[in-house]
Amino acid sequence: MIERKDIRNIAIIAHVDHGKTTLVDQLLRQSGVFRENEVLQERVMDSNSIEKERGITILAKNTSIMYKDAKINIIDTPGHADFGGEVERIMKMVDGVLLLVDAKEGPMPQTRFVLKKALQQGLKSIVVVNKIDRPEASPHEVIDQVLDLYISLDASEDQMEFPIVYASAKNGFAKYELDEESDNMIPLFESIMENIPYPTGDEEDGLQLLISSIDYDKYTGRIGIGRIERGSITKGQQAVRIERDGKITQVKVANLYTFDGLNRVEGQDATVGDIVAISGIENLNIGDTICSVDKPEALDSIEIDEPTISMTFMVNDSPFAGKEGKFVTSRHLKDRLERELLSNVAMRLEEISTDSFRVLGRGELHISILIETMRREGYEFAVSRPEVIMKRTEEGLLEPIERLYVEVPEENASTVIDKISQRKGEMQNMEPVGDMMKLEFLIPARGLIGYRSEFLTDTKGYGVLHHLFEGFEKHKGEIKARNRGSLVAHETGTAVAYGLFNAQERGRIFIGPGVEVYEGMVVGESSRAEDIVVNVCKRKQMTNVRASGSDDALKLVPPVKLSLEQSLEFIGDDELVEVTPQSIRLRKKILDKTARSRSQRTNV
- Residue ranges at the known binding site for GTP: 17-22, 130-133
What are the phi and psi torsion angles at 458 (to 5°)?
-65, -30
Q: What is the DSSP letter of 505?
A: G
- Binding-site members are 17-22, 130-133
SS3 at position 182: coil
What backbone phi and psi angles, to 5 degrees, belong to 555? -95, 110
**Hey, CA dihedral for 248, 252, 255, 256, is it positive or negative?**
positive
Rounded Cα gap, residues 14 and 97, in angstroms = 10
Are 21 and 55 within 8 A, CB to CB?
Answer: no
Task: Please report, as a single letter, which amino acid is at residue 395.
Answer: E
At 116, which helix (H) or strand (E)?
helix 109-120
CA distance 443 to 404: 7
| Helix, strand, coil distribution of the chain in percent, nearest 5 | 25, 35, 40
d(CA 312, CA 574): 12
Q: Cα 403–408–414 angle (5° rounding)? A: 90
Helix axes 139-152, 109-120, angle to 10 degrees: 50
Number of CB atoms found within 10 A of residue 266's CB = 10
What b/e readout covers 353-370, taking b as 16+ CB neighbours within 10 angstroms?
eebbbbbbbbbbbbbbbb
Do residues 82 and 363 lie in contact, with contact meaning Cβ atoms separated by under 8 Å? yes
Give the β-pairing of 124-130 and 96-102: parallel
β-strand pairing of 7-14 with 96-102: parallel
What is each CA distance from 604 to 567, 586, 599, in whole angstroms? 26, 24, 9
Q: What is the DSSP string of 25-65?
A: HHHHHHTTSS-TT----SSTT--SHHHHHHT---S-EEEEE
Ramachandran angles phi, psi of 19, nearest 5°: 105, 20
